[in-house]
């Protein structure tokens, strides 16, 4: 295999003149985080609400929530990204569609990417929220009702505090997933980290150096996420609140 | 040594051995494998593209077949199998370098920078880096017209690299989008997402001719640089390069090149039976009279 190694390429100037290739990749990291964090806010807001609503006893609310989840769960992320970027502007009234298509890059790619990623992740969070709530013993809900709390109060003071603590470890995975899934946005033209690594490879022909640098940057970013979430879990932990987990903690001490 | 470091050393040794194995020449590789792999394109009309039956055809493919005949004769393997490997602008150089394909016959520009990674045959076409835009936008006269506009080009091409550098050098403030392929990039101009598509003029010409409304578009008068096309091969393999160059020189000298050129540029071609009506340019006639594999654009004026 004829391959000409050149790790110094990371410090060479990129053709667009913005700086070194390493700087070019790090700007990509900023875009990755901007996309992932904006989508994360949308995902938590919608996913938390939908997941909770699916455990109530209002049949139509539950059905709507289930329908929403099934639609977004069954379509691959890449297809959803293309639908948001290419198809949605064509389905809207012509003036609105044309205006959307004229939005200059990078916002023209950023907005559909954030919406797509946000809704895609929201259904995963909704599933996890529903599972977390349903994993609590039925007695919790009945105790709330027995004490005279309304359904909303039962959720607010009894069920959700426990469910949110249960959901924190899977939420760490989802957070890492949303950062990794942001790379799919390169297919609609968003120059985030993976898109820039690909562009760097195409301009410089240094495949290994480009993608090795991107890999290291992703791993370090996700390491920060894992450590931050672990800190958060420790901060909000209430010993003995979630019976089985609590017993294990206390036994460990 | 710990268990893990032993495994790591073993893995590294395997990797190094496998790289040593591919240091053999292309002709040896083809002889031992029993087949030759040609890298083709799917939409570089009329050089290398798929016809209605998904078979790779084109001007470059016809010239490639001449090379395959020469290989068959040289190795005395009349039943040599020909395999095809579809490549894109972005992965064609890596796939030639790592041995997945033996020769690339498409619309690849020969330039000095790429010659550090791969080798090129004699030039078989000369085109220029231009852009296509809607007539109604009036962007064809000069590069300054593109100031501040959204411009698209295909990923991995010399064209996108040149427009990125020019954008920076001349402070044009263009937004440059990278598309995955030529049809996708052209569609961006059609739907209004981009104001102009920067690409080799012959490819723009073909896309315009096969579009729904050809009269809607115009190609720029200005050419940013000459783009000579050559077949790509692994670097350092002089024996194979000599065979390819000699084959092309023979096709040029015998005049057979004129027949092949006419077939693809002045007659109806698959799949839509459109006639491109592009007579042979003076630059190409010059290259046919004096074959060259130069990667310096100045040599083609």
| Two domains, one topology: B24-124+230-284 and B129-226 | yes
Question: b/e string for A208-226 if b means 16 or more Cβ within 10 A?
Answer: ebbeebbeebbeebbeebe
| pLDDT digit string, tens, across residues A179-207 | 999 999 999 989 999 999 999 998 888 88
Q: Does A240 touch chain B (CB under 8 A)?
A: no
Residue B233 has phi, psi (to 5 degrees) of -140, 170
Q: Which pLDDT score is estimated for B2?
A: 65
Report the complex ipTM.
Answer: 0.74
| pLDDT digit string, tens, across residues A86-134 | 899 989 999 999 899 888 888 999 999 999 999 999 999 999 999 999 9
Mutate to test the interface with A, among B29, B157, B164 (most CBs of A within 10 A): B164
Of A17, A195, A202, the CB nearest to B168: A17
Q: Where are the domains of chain A?
A: 24-252
CB–CB contact B155 A202 (8 Å): yes
Domain range A24-252, CATH class? mainly alpha
CB–CB contact A2 B180 (8 Å): no
CB–CB contact B236 A2 (8 Å): yes
Q: Where are the domains of chain B?
A: 24-124+230-284, 129-226
Of A4, A195, A207, the CB nearest to B94: A207
CB–CB contact A101 B191 (8 Å): yes
Q: Does A97 touch chain B (CB under 8 A)?
A: no
Give percent of chain B with pLDDT exceeding 70. 93
The shortest C-alpha distance from B96 to chain A (Å) reads 9
Q: Which residues of A touch B192 (CB under 8 A)?
A: 98, 101-102
The shortest C-alpha distance from B208 to chain A (Å) reads 21
Q: Does A78 touch chain B (CB under 8 A)?
A: no
CB–CB contact A3 B98 (8 Å): yes
Angle between helices A59-73 and A21-53 (to 10 degrees): 150
- pTM of the predicted protein model: 0.81
| pLDDT digit string, tens, across residues A29-74 | 999 999 999 999 999 999 999 999 999 989 999 999 999 999 999 9
- The closest of B140, B130, B163 to B217, measured between CA atoms, is B140
The span from the CA of B298 to the CA of B301, in Å, is 6
Q: Which pLDDT score is estimated for B38?
A: 97
| pLDDT digit string, tens, across residues B57-107 | 999 999 999 999 999 999 999 999 999 999 999 899 989 998 999 999 999
Q: Which residues of B touch A98 (CB under 8 A)?
A: 192
Q: Which pLDDT score is estimated for B297?
A: 87
Instruction: Assign B19 a pLDDT band (cuts: 50, 70, 90).
Output: very low
Q: Give the mean pLDDT of chain B.
A: 91
How is residue A201 written in tokens? 């490879």
Domain range B129-226, CATH class? alpha beta
Handedness of CA A179, A181, A182, A186 (dihedral sign): positive
Q: Is the Cβ–Cβ distance between B98 and B215 less than 8 Å?
A: no
Instruction: Assign A243 a pLDDT band (cuts: 50, 70, 90).
Output: low
Residue of A nearest to B92 (CA): A202
**∠ Cα A44 A228 A24 (to 5°):** 85
Query: Over 90: is that where the pLDDT of A239 sits?
Result: no
CB–CB contact B168 A16 (8 Å): yes
Q: Does B168 touch chain A (CB under 8 A)?
A: yes
3-state class (DSSP) for residue A191:
coil
Q: Does B99 touch chain A (CB under 8 A)?
A: yes
Give percent of chain B with pLDDT exceeding 90. 78
Average pLDDT over residues A136-152: 92
- The closest of B236, B240, B199 to B219, measured between CA atoms, is B199
Mutate to test the interface with B, among A185, A205, A209, A211 (most CBs of B within 10 A): A205
Q: Which pLDDT score is estimated for B46?
A: 94
How is residue B103 written in tokens? 């020769």
Element (H, E) at B196: strand B196-200
Q: Which pLDDT score is estimated for B16?
A: 54
Residue of B nearest to A101 (CA): B193
Q: Which pLDDT score is estimated for B121?
A: 96
Whether the link from the prior residue into B271 is cis, omega within 30° of 0, is yes
The span from the CA of A23 to the CA of A19, in Å, is 6
Q: Which residues of B touch A108 (CB under 8 A)?
A: 193
Q: Is the Cβ–Cβ distance between B95 and B232 less than 8 Å?
A: no
The shortest C-alpha distance from B46 to chain A (Å) reads 24
Query: Over 80: is that where the pLDDT of A245 sits?
Result: no
Domain range B24-124+230-284, CATH class? alpha beta
Flag the least confident range among A13-17, A135-139, A215-219: A13-17
The span from the CA of A140 to the CA of A243, in Å, is 12
The shortest C-alpha distance from A174 to chain B (Å) reads 29
CB–CB contact A199 B155 (8 Å): yes
Q: Is the Cβ–Cβ distance between B96 and B216 less than 8 Å?
A: no
Query: Over 80: is that where the pLDDT of B21 sits?
Result: no
């Amino acid at each position: 295999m004829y391959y000409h190694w050149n790790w110094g390429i990371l410090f060479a100037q990129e053709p667009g003149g913005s700086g070194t290739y390493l700087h070019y990749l790090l700007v990509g990291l900023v875009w990755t985080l901007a996309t992932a964090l904006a989508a994360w806010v949308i995902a938590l807001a919608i996913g938390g609400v939908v997941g909770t609503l699916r455990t109530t006893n209002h049949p139509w609310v539950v059905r709507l929530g289930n329908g929403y989840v099934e639609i977004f769960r069954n379509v691959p992320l890449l297809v959803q990204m293309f639908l948001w970027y290419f198809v949605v502007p064509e389905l809207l009234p012509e003036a609105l569609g044309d205006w959307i298509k004229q939005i200059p890059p990078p916002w023209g790619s950023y907005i559909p990417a954030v919406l797509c990623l946000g809704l895609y992740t929201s259904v995963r969070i909704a599933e996890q929220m529903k599972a977390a709530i349903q994993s609590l013993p039925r007695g919790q809900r009945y105790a709330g009702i027995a004490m005279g709390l309304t359904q909303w109060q039962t959720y607010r003071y009894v069920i959700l505090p426990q469910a949110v603590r249960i959901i924190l470890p899977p939420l760490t995975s989802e957070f890492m997933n949303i950062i990794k899934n942001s790379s799919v946005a390169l297919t609609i033209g968003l120059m985030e980290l993976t898109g820039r690594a690909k562009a760097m490879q195409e301009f410089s022909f240094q495949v290994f150096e480009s993608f090795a640098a991107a890999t290291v940057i992703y791993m370090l970013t996700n390491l920060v996420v894992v450590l931050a979430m672990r800190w958060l879990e420790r901060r909000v932990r209430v010993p003995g609140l979630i019976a089985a987990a609590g017993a294990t903690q206390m036994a460990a001490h | 040594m710990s268990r893990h470091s032993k495994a790591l050393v073993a893995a590294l040794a395997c990797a190094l051995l496998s790289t040593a194995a591919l240091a053999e020449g292309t002709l040896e590789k083809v002889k031992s494998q029993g087949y030759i792999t040609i890298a083709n394109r799917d939409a570089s009309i009329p050089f290398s593209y798929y016809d209605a039956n998904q078979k790779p055809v084109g001007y470059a493919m016809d010239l490639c077949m001449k090379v395959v005949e020469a290989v068959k004769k040289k190795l005395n393997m009349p039943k040599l199998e020909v395999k095809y490997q579809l490549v894109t602008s972005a992965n064609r150089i890596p796939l030639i370098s790592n041995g997945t394909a033996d020769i690339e016959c498409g619309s690849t520009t020969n330039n000095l920078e790429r010659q550090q990674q791969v080798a090129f045959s004699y030039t078989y076409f000369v085109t220029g880096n231009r852009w296509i835009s809607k007539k109604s936008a009036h962007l064809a006269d000069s590069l300054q017209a593109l100031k501040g506009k959204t411009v698209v080009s295909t990923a991995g091409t010399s064209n996108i690299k040149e427009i990125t550098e020019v954008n920076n050098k001349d402070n044009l403030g263009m937004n440059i989008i990278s598309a995955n392929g030529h049809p996708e990039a052209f569609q961006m101009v059609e739907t209004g997402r981009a104001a102009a598509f920067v690409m080799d003029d012959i490819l723009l010409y073909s896309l315009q001719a096969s579009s729904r409304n050809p009269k809607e578009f115009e190609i720029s008068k200005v050419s940013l640089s000459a783009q000579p096309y050559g077949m790509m091969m692994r670097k350092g393999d002089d024996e194979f390069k000599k065979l390819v160059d000699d084959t092309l020189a023979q096709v040029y000298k015998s005049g057979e090149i004129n027949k092949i050129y006419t077939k693809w540029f002045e007659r109806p071609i698959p799949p839509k039976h459109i006639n491109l009506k592009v007579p042979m340019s003076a630059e190409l006639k010059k290259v046919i009279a004096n074959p060259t594999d130069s990667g310096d654009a100045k040599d083609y004026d």
